[in-house]
Amino acid sequence: MFITNVFYYLVHTGELRSIIQWKIWHTPVHERNEEEETPSLKKCFYFLDMTSRSFSTVIQELHPELLVPIALFYLVLRGLDTVEDDMTIALEEKDPILRNFHSILEKQGWSYDGCAITEKDRELLVQFGNVTEEFTKLKPAYKTIIKDICEKMGNGMADFCKKSDNNVNIVNTVEDYDLYCHYVAGLVGNGLTRMFVESKLANEALASRPQLQESMGLFLQKTNIIRDVKEDLDDKRRFWPTEIWSKYVTNFEDLFKPENKTAALDCNSEMVLNSLRHADQCLFYLAGIKEQSVFNFAAIPQCMAIATLDRVFRNPDIFKKNVKITKGEACKVMMESTQNLKLVCDTFLRYTRSIHSKNTARDPNFLKISIACGKIEQFIESIFPTQNPAAVLAPGDSSKLTGRAADDAARAARDAQQAKEAKEDTFYLILTVFGVVIFISAIMVFVAYMVGARFDLAFQELRKGNFMKIKSPEQLEALKKGEL
């Protein structure tokens, strides 16, 4: 494994460079103050490290105001998710836990050891007292938000569990799919937004845009659902909506058979298309965040998602194994998503174009994907225009513009002037080079002529089509005759 990695990065030096740069140059915006933390809070951060692969670091770099609330929010939802995911718990036992999880938060010392030993986050629930203890210390506003989301999510999950117990396909229609993703991810977007706004670290207008909050969650969740299709199948779970896959295969398992590769890829592209439609709204949302650590926290997962979406798009490997972006690519994306919205947009555009380049006419979703990609590009262009009206005006025409546009015009004119000068310089440079070449050639020709070169004969031969050296004595003879 190590050896293959070494070889991989020897070939992909650009990715290696990203890893090194991330390690050296990334400095957290804020850092935890571990000395002031209580033992139970330390334990909470320990669980955060244990349970989340990607979120732990970004959460720990959050603004102090949001650090603990969001870390606890994450652990609470992780606890809920662990109960929901565990297929060994009977429905009669699971249902009340899910539906009452929000009131459990206020119960000191609550713990649960009913999860299967194989469940990787089992320990979090066994020692859940640490979470509930810290939860009581939160500001009431954050408590209300976390409890509210917890209640909605628990009920939603319980509804879906009930459905799945009666029916294997828990997600039938695309509407179901959106609803399921709403419960497990859209609500997280809503809760986080309310916390951002509560802390005044984001524009309060975000609170009144439920569609944008929803997209933030759905874009991540849907992308993960596409990526994890094989893993979920192995765990006997299925989140791809029947309405979509049944267009391509009769049984869901057929997607994984090599003989159905084309159908499976077309199905894959419809799933990607469904996810891609949220991308522009995610960018819109990110524009509303004011504080750097919150921006990083929100932007990193989104950029990872678009990179993952590109990786999985029309990739047959997703039906065989778990496909992931490489560590090098992840570092590059993290670096780009921890600075500003412009760089995030550039990242989105890069991956959008990459998705577009893999689009193929034989795919039934071909034009829809093309339109979705075009829409993302147009949206990015609308928030970061790469040109302005002044740039297309003829010089001296700027009288038609006023205010900022006039400034732009002046700048454009100045740029144009500089470009023109640069062009002239290049022109003169080329002229000089060619002048010298021609001059030297002329001298050489003149010298050759003075010492007796017969250019007339050379021309004659060229006109006869003799471009090569004369080789045979006969030809030489013929030439001599001609000369005489």
Q: Which spans of this chain sit near other proteins (rule: CB under 8 A)? A: 353, 356-357, 359, 361-362, 366-368, 370-371, 374-375, 377-378, 381-382, 385-387, 389, 391-394, 397, 400, 405
> Using N-to-C axis directions, what is the helix angle for 279-286 and 292-312, rounded to 10°?
170
Based on the residue annotation, tell me whether 297 is a catalytic residue of this protein: yes
Rounded distance, CA 57 to CA 48, Å?
A: 9
Out of 99, 122, 209, 237, pick the active-site residue: 237
Minimum CB separation of residue 356 from other proteins in Å reads 7
**Separation in Å, CA 83 to CA 43, 96, 122, 125:** 20, 11, 9, 9
Out of 180, 196, 219, 348, pick the active-site residue: 180
Minimum CB separation of residue 416 from other proteins in Å reads 11
- Residue with smaller CB distance to other proteins, 292 or 370: 370
Based on the residue annotation, tell me whether 183 is a catalytic residue of this protein: no
Minimum CB separation of residue 181 from other proteins in Å reads 24
Q: Which residue has the tokens 């929100």?
A: 298
Based on the residue annotation, tell me whether 9 is a catalytic residue of this protein: no
Tokens describing residue 24: 């050296």
Minimum CB separation of residue 358 from other proteins in Å reads 12
Minimum CB separation of residue 400 from other proteins in Å reads 6
- Residue with smaller CB distance to other proteins, 233 or 405: 405
- Residue with smaller CB distance to other proteins, 152 or 368: 368
Minimum CB separation of residue 402 from other proteins in Å reads 11
- Residue with smaller CB distance to other proteins, 233 or 401: 401
- What are the φ and ψ backbone dihedral angles of 202, each rounded to 5 degrees? -140, 160
- Residue with smaller CB distance to other proteins, 1 or 361: 361
Minimum CB separation of residue 381 from other proteins in Å reads 4
**Separation in Å, CA 272 to CA 308, 356, 369:** 10, 12, 9
Minimum CB separation of residue 362 from other proteins in Å reads 6
- Residue with smaller CB distance to other proteins, 64 or 385: 385
Out of 135, 177, 297, 379, pick the active-site residue: 297
- What are the φ and ψ backbone dihedral angles of 359, each rounded to 5 degrees? -70, 140
Based on the residue annotation, tell me whether 454 is a catalytic residue of this protein: no
Q: How many CB atoms lie within 10 A of CB 400?
A: 11
Rounded distance, CA 381 to CA 305, Å?
A: 21
Out of 32, 78, 194, 227, pick the active-site residue: 227
- Residue with smaller CB distance to other proteins, 26 or 368: 368
Reference 392, options 384, 383, 400, 404; nearest CA is 400
- Residue with smaller CB distance to other proteins, 37 or 377: 377
Which residues are known catalytic residues?
180, 227, 237, 297
